[in-house]
Chain A
Amino acid sequence: MDPLVLVFLTSGLFLGWALGANDAANVFGTAVGTRMVKWRTAAIICSVFIVLGALISGAGASHTLGKLGTISALPGAFMTALSAAIAVYTMTKSGLPVSTSQAIVGAIIGWNLFSSNPTDGATLTKILSTWIICPLLSGCIAVVLFKAFKLISRRAKMHMIVGDAYMRVALLLVGAFGAYSLGANNIANVVGVFIPAQPFPDIVMGTWRFSSTQQLFLLGGLAISLGVFTYSKGVMMTVGGNLGRLSPTAAFITVLSHSIVLFIFASRGLESWLAGHGLPTIPLVPVSSSQAVVGAIVGISILQGATGIQWSVLGKIVTGWVVTPFAAGLICFIGLFFLQNVFGLTVA
């Protein structure tokens, strides 16, 4: 294997690290911030399930991303992932909420434009529509789950202390599910652009085969986990503080809705089940974990009379959604120009 491969992969791994550092807080932020779950426990569960999600269910969303633009040259993939990472990093530094999914899609379109590769309109429409559907769906699921939970808990008449103990276990379980879904859905953002280049040889041991794509998924998953372990603690504490007004019940419902949404946008099993029953299928697209969480919180807030919604913050979030893909696309375009014309690398 060419050692340059590892150098090119660093941009994807950096993006993975940033994703782990930021998005683990969407899954465990409130639980850790409110000290319902210990950070170490959360980090271990989060890392293990992100890697499992990436390995077991990561292919679906990656496939869709591949259809948007097949980047067959490693330097091109390097710049695509790097520009997404730079966009994510810069936006985070500016205090704007950011989505790695939108950054990578913007960067791929930047690559398409640079390399005169036509962007598949149908796939792009599919992806853009999910960006709107994702928070809306998450909000609707949160409303239904919240109402159902309130009804059940009222009937159960469980002692507050016992309820608290169950809530801790529930937050761990839903956090594990959330981490799995995050790995399954967002691994495409991290290593998806490197798949067409197939940088690793397949490893075959008897009947067991570990493909290049799976190796990429494992590597990406580990990069996300590294982000969780090295940087997520502060973010989790901040998220816990920012969302302090959320009750543990609302926090649980928020994470569950987020996880369900990420899962249904990543699950090939669900897709084939729906197709098998003649039902319309859900596109397998990388969606934003942060937007799913925001959608769920807004849903619950509206259910409670919309008193807790800060519209200026929501406006900032929407601005972030629009700016991210454009910024990433522009950075990618300029970066590819330099790679090709200054360093003489083949990017397409």
Chain B
Amino acid sequence: MITKFHLFRRTRELEQKIDSFFDKLSETSVIYRLAIRTYLKDGYNEEFQTRLERVRALETEADHLRRDIEKQLYSNTLIPDARGDVLGLIETVDQLLSQFEGSLWAFAIEKPDIPKAYRVGFRKLTTMVVKAADELGLSGRAFFRNPHDVPAYNHKVMLYEKEADVLSTSLKQAIFDSDLDLARKLHLREFVEQIDEVADMAEDVADRLAIYAIKRLV
């Protein structure tokens, strides 16, 4: 009875850690969007710094959780048939969190000067990639509780990723059609791609998730 109680206590802990890991993703995407908005509105300032610090802290917390989850899955030989898939999922989502953080660090270090004409485009692109990441979070949570729902969330991830591609392409076209000098054009393109990469990575994780979910349903 003690063993059984112990088994379920550990199980609940791990369940909470996995939920908490996905909370980090949704929280990061919200703060990322606010940070970019702040930057587009007021440039690099204290508010942006605070948001960057928060994203950095969230990424570190997610790292700790990932290690804990991996350790617990292996040391307690849990979910033997799906362990590899869960670890793959957690690791790729962690990379997505790193991409959020890396993108904000690029803003903080390089402080790009974004002309007013492109700020709406940047804002729309950011909103779209954040939506893709949010849907991925829901898909990841569904994978653990109801894998039948994964395709529906993945479908939305794909839609937002495609839309982000359209937005980033038109934004880059507008930048390169402008009179800005080439160095500035290249600099701005780099930031468009940095933001768009979030949606691309979300799509990659969703592709993996689709396979993991099918394996669970068979």
Q: A and B: real partners?
A: yes
Known: A159-B145, A160-B145, A168-B7. Contact between A248 and B15, CB under 8 A?
Answer: no
Cβ–Cβ contact A35 & B77, under 8 A: yes
* Residue ID in chain A nearest B7 by CB atoms: A165
Q: A72 in the interface, Cβ–Cβ < 8 Å?
A: no
* Complex contact A161–B15 (CB within 8 A): yes
Is there a chain B Cβ closer than 8 Å to A1's Cβ?
Answer: no
Q: Is the CB of B81 within 8 A of A158?
A: no
Q: Verify A247–B15 contact, CB threshold 8 A.
A: no
Chain B residues with CB under 8 A of A169: 4, 7
Q: A34, A154, A157, A165: which contacts B8 (Cβ < 8 A)?
A: A165
Known contacts A168-B7, A247-B81: A157-B218 contact under CB 8 Å: no
Assess whether A154 is in contact with B148, with CB atoms less than 8 Å apart: yes
- B82 contacts A by Cβ under 8 Å: yes
Nearest residue in A to B9 (C-beta to C-beta)?
A165
A157 & B81 in contact (Cβ 8 Å cutoff):
no
Q: Mark B1-39, 1 if CB is under 8 A from A, else 0.
A: 000100110011011001000000000000000000000
Residue of B nearest to A34 (CB): B80
Whether B174 is near chain A, meaning CB under 8 Å from some CB there, is: no
- Number of B interface residues at 8 Å Cβ cutoff, please give it: 22
Interface residues of B in 66-85 (CB under 8 A from A): 77-82
Nearest chain B CB to A68 CB, angstrom units: 43
Enumerate chain A residues within 8 angstroms of B7, measured Cβ to Cβ: 165, 168-169
Is B146 in the interface zone, CB < 8 Å from A?
yes
**Neighbouring A residues of B146 by C-beta, 8 Å:** 154, 157
Q: Which of A126-140 contact B (CB under 8 A)?
A: none
Q: Which residues of A contact B145 (CB under 8 A)?
A: 157-160
Contacts known (A168-B7, A304-B218); A161 close to B14, Cβ less than 8 A: yes
| Interface check B144, CB cutoff 8 A | yes
* Chain A hits for B216, CB < 8 A: 160
CB-defined contacts of B148 to chain A, threshold 8 Å: 154
Q: Is A162 an interface residue (CB 8 A)?
A: yes
For the complex, give the distance between the alpha carbons of A34 and B79 in Å: 9
Chain A 234-250, CB-CB to B under 8 Å as 1, else 0, gives 00000000000001100
Which residues from 52 to 102 on chain B have a C-beta closer than 8 Å to any C-beta of chain A?
A: 77-82, 86
Across the interface, name the chain A residue whose C-beta is closest to B149. Answer: A157
Question: Which A residues touch B218, using CB under 8 A?
Answer: 247, 304
**Given the contacts A159-B144, A169-B4, A164 and B78 also touching, CB distance less than 8 Å:** yes
A323 lies within 8 A of chain B by Cβ? no
Flag whether A36 is at the interface (Cβ < 8 A): yes
- With the chains together, A304 CA to B18 CA distance in Å? 30
Q: For A164, give its contact among B4, B79, B143 (CB under 8 Å).
A: B79
With contacts A154-B146, A154-B148, A304-B218 taken as known, whether A161 is within 8 angstroms of B80 at the C-beta atoms is: no
| Distance from B7 Cβ to chain A, minimum over Cβ atoms (Å) | 6
Q: List, in ascending order, chain A residues with CB within 8 A of B82's CB.
A: 160
A34 vs B216: C-alpha distance when bound (angstroms): 16
Identify which of B78, B143, B216 gathers the most chain A CB atoms within 10 Å of its CB: B78
> Which residues of chain B come closer than 8 Å to A35, judged between CB atoms?
77, 80
Cβ–Cβ contact B81 & A34, under 8 A: yes
Query: A35, A159, A161: which has the most chain B beta carbons within 10 Å?
Result: A161
A161 neighbours in B (Cβ, 8 Å): 11, 14-15, 18, 78-79, 144
| Contact present for A248 and B81 (CB under 8 Å) | yes
Inter-chain contacts of A168 with B (CB < 8 A): 7
**A248, B82: Cα distance in complex, Å:** 10
Contacts of B79 in A (CB 8 A): 160-161, 164
Give the complex CA separation of A249 and B4 in angstroms. Answer: 20
| CB of B12 to closest CB in A, whole Å | 8
Closest 7 CB pairs of A and B: A165-B11, A160-B144, A164-B79, A35-B77, A157-B146, A34-B80, A161-B15
Q: List 6 A-B contacts (CB under 8 A).
A: A34-B80, A34-B81, A157-B146, A159-B15, A159-B144, A304-B218
Q: Which residues of B approach A to under 8 Å, CB–CB?
A: 4, 7-8, 11-12, 14-15, 18, 77-82, 86, 143-146, 148, 216, 218
| Sample of 19 further A-B pairs with CB below 8 A, known A160-B86, A162-B15 | A34-B81, A35-B77, A154-B146, A157-B146, A159-B145, A160-B79, A160-B82, A160-B144, A161-B11, A161-B15, A161-B78, A162-B11, A164-B11, A164-B79, A165-B7, A169-B4, A247-B81, A248-B81, A304-B218
